[in-house]
Amino acid sequence: MLKDKKILLGISGGIAAYKACALTSKLTQQGAIVKVIMTDSAVKFVSPLTFQALSRNPVYIDTFDEKDSSKIAHIDLADWADFILLAPATANVIGKLANGIADDMLSTTLLASEAPVYIAPAMNVHMYAHPAVMENMKQLETWGYHFIEPGAGYLACGYVGKGRLEEPETIIETLINHQQGKNSAGGLTGKKVLISAGPTREKIDPVRYFTNRSSGKMGFALAEAAAAQGAEVTLVAGPTDQQLEAKNIHRVNVVTAEEMYEEMHRYFPASDIVIKAAAVADYRPKNVFSEKMKKQMGPMQLEMERTKDILKSLGEKKDKQFLVGFAAETTEPLRYGLQKLRAKNLDAIVINNVATEGAGFEGDTNIVTYVNKEEAQDEMALAAKSEIAEQLINCIVRDMKDEVL
C-alpha cells in the first residue's frame, strides 16, 4: 500500500531519532519514496549522511540551502509529499506546529503543506503529560492531524512510562491501515466520523457512582462499520469492557458526562458525521463526598443536578456535520424520538424500545427505526448489533448523498 507513495519524513531532536533510521529503511523497503528533513537538534543525534544513504535522496536541514535554484525547497517539498510523517516529534516541534511557528526548514515546510500529517511523539513521560503539550496535541487533532501514540516503557532519561517512540513496524502498519481506508470502495472514504458509546459514571463518594446498563456494544459496532467503509473514525467511549477489532479507529476513553462533553466538542469541528450512541447520565450528584458515606438508619437523600446536554449543544453548533442521535425509549418510542429529532436539530435519529425483547441494553441484538429529518423511516428487524450498525451506516451514506444532490 505504500509503493510509490511520496513520504516526507520529519526528524526532530531527541534520542529517539536513532529509530528513524530503521523507519526510513523499512519505508524504502515498502516501495515508498522517502525524503528527510532534519532539525538542527536532530543532526546532533544522527548524521544526515545516514538518512541520505538509507533513503537514497538528499537530506534537508537549512531553509536557505536551496539545492535547486529553480525551486523554493520548502514549498517544493510541501507540494511533493503525499503525506508527512514526524517521527520522532518532540514537544518543541509539536508546539511550533500548534501555534503556527515557522522558524526552520521542518516547521516552514509543515505550514506550507496541505498533505495529511502523521505525528509520532517521543519525549520524557512528564513532558508528554504536561498540560501545554496535551493542549497542543488536542489543537492539532481538531485540525485533522493524525497521532501515533507513544509506547510505554523504559525511557532514555531513566524514567519508566509513556513517551517512547512507537516501533517502526507499528508506525508503518498505521500508515498502511490508513491508506487501505483511503483507497477502499466504501461510501465513507475520506470522511471523518465521530461516535460516542457506552455509559458514563457520576461519582457519589470514593466507592459509589451512578451509571446505567449501556454496554457500548452498539456504538462500538457503528465504529467498526464506519471504518469498514473507509472512514477515519474517532470513538469516544465511556467505561466499558468492549474492545475494537479494527486497528485504525482512534479510541478516546472517558468516565463522566462532563468528560464526554469536552471530548465530543473537541473532535466535533473537524468531523463530517457525528453519531451520539452513548447513554449519558442526565443527572449527577450536586455534591461529591470525599469520604465514604456511612449507612444510615433511615432514608437517604441526594441532591442531583443536570449534566450538559451533549446532543443539543452539538445540534446548536453544527454547520457541515451530519448529526445522528439515539432515542432509547420504553413508551411511545416513535413519538418521543421525533420530538428529539426536531428539538435537537438532528439530521437523523435511531429509535428503539428498550423494553422489547432483543432490543435492550447489554444484549448482542437490536431492533431499531432510523428516521431522517424528512421523517422517512427505515425499520430494522431483530438482528445482531453488527448487522444493525452496517444498515445504519448505509442509511447515513444514502442520506448524505441525497443532501448533496
What the block records as the C-alpha cell of 366 is 437490536
What the block records as the C-alpha cell of 311 is 446532543
Tell me the C-alpha distance between 234 and 268, whole Å: 10
DSSP string, 315-349: HHH-SS-EEEEEEEESSSHHHHHHHHHHHTT-SEE
Exactly one of 15, 21, 43, 157 is catalytic; name it. Answer: 157
What the block records as the C-alpha cell of 188 is 465513507
Tell me the C-alpha distance between 180 and 172, whole Å: 12
Q: Are 144 and 270 in contact (CB under 8 A)?
A: yes
Tell me the C-alpha distance between 44 and 47, whole Å: 7
Q: Indicate the annotated binding residues for CTP.
A: 282, 292, 326, 340, 344
DSSP 367: E
In sequence order, the 6+-apart residues with CB closer than 8 A to the CB of 120 are 85, 86, 87, 88, 89, 147, 148, 150, 165, 166, 171
- Describe the crossing of helices 257-267 and 131-142 by its angle, rounded to 10 degrees: 50
Dihedral sign from CA coordinates of 239, 164, 84, 41: positive
Q: Using CA atoms in the order 302, 308, 312, 316, what is the torsion angle rounded to 10 degrees?
A: 150
Q: Indicate the annotated binding residues.
A: 282, 292, 326, 340, 344
Phi-psi region of 4 (alpha: psi -120 to 50; beta: other; left: phi over 0): left
How far CA 116 is from CA of 7, 27, 49, 127, 233, in Å, comes to 10, 17, 27, 25, 15
Q: Report the Cα–Cα distance between both ends of the chain, in Å, rounded.
A: 33
Based on the residue annotation, tell me whether 395 is a catalytic residue of this protein: no
In sequence order, the 6+-apart residues with CB closer than 8 A to the CB of 71 are none
Active site residues: 157
